[in-house]
């Protein structure tokens, strides 16, 4: 596969080029090793596309996972505790999970365990491959990468997305680079408050 477009949010790409150029090179090489034509195996049942061969998101995700794992990227998880009191959440947000739970319970509130997980982390760079539904992209950009950044687990998040020209050859539902770029642009220059690199790919 090849990279068609890159968008740097809050100098995410610039940070990579200065601090982790080898990691950025590795991401590019992994993308280049994927042969998308091998994964055009899904037979469409959708109206207007019945019988047409489409790219399989499941197979593509599996191939990307294997490639990243082979290069030493690991899964990471950040855990935290939530409650129904906004002020209390603000007060405990930056504490350790243990301290969060203690303070929430000390305030007489129920502490509810939660977590965010990202599939690929290496040298404080988180990478997500997103061939899923459009809502998953928004969650990655505005919740997941931000949570890892705030918890001081990563310095930059990389989101790899299909370009529209590829998404049109997938089943309905997956998001795409151009749509994610619009969502970031309409939030203003500082939102989300985490350095990001959006990478648009195509076969």
Q: Which runs of consecutive H residues, i.e. helices, occur in 38-96?
A: 57-70, 86-92
Specify the CATH architecture of the domain 2-79+119-202.
3-Layer(aba) Sandwich (3.40)
Across 99-103, average pLDDT: 96
pLDDT computed for residue 87 by the predictor = 95
Strands ordered across the beta sheet of 2-9: 2-9, 196-202, 156-162, 125-129, 112-122, 74-82
pLDDT computed for residue 69 by the predictor = 96
- Mean pLDDT of all residues in the chain? 93
Q: Please report, rounded to a whole number, the percentage of residues in the chain having pLDDT higher than 70.
A: 100
Least confident of 42-51, 77-86, 111-120: 42-51
pLDDT exceeds cutoff 90 at 189: no
Across 105-109, average pLDDT: 97
pLDDT band of residue 44 (cuts 50, 70, 90) is confident
pLDDT band of residue 141 (cuts 50, 70, 90) is very high
pLDDT computed for residue 156 by the predictor = 98
pLDDT band of residue 165 (cuts 50, 70, 90) is very high
pTM for the complete prediction? 0.88
pLDDT exceeds cutoff 90 at 31: yes
Question: Residue ranges of the domains in the chain?
Answer: 2-79+119-202
pLDDT band of residue 173 (cuts 50, 70, 90) is confident
Burial class (CB in 10 A: 0-12, 13-18, 19+), 71: middle
- Who's near 124: CB < 8 A, 6+ residues apart? 20, 153, 154, 155, 156
pLDDT band of residue 132 (cuts 50, 70, 90) is confident
């Amino acid at each position: 596969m090849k990279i068609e477009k890159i968008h740097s949010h809050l100098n995410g790409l610039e940070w990579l080029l200065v601090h982790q150029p080898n990691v950025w090179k590795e991401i590019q090489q992994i993308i280049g090793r994927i042969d998308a034509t091998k994964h055009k195996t899904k037979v469409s049942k959708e109206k207007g596309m019945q019988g047409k061969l489409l790219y399989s998101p499941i197979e593509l995700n599996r191939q990307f996972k294997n490639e990243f794992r082979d290069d030493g990227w690991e899964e990471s998880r950040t855990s935290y505790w939530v409650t129904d009191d906004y002020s209390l959440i603000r007060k405990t947000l930056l504490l350790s999970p243990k301290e969060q739970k203690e303070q929430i319970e000390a305030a007489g509130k129920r502490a509810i365990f939660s977590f965010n997980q990202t599939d690929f982390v290496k040298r404080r760079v988180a990478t997500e491959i997103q061939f899923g539904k459009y809502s998953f992209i928004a969650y990655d950009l505005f919740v997941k990468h931000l949570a890892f950044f705030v918890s001081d687990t990563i310095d930059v998040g990389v989101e790899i997305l299909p370009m529209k020209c590829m998404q049109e050859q997938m089943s309905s539902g997956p998001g795409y680079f151009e749509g994610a770029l619009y969502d970031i642009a309409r939030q203003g220059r500082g939102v989300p408050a985490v350095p990001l690199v959006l990478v648009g790919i195509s076969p």
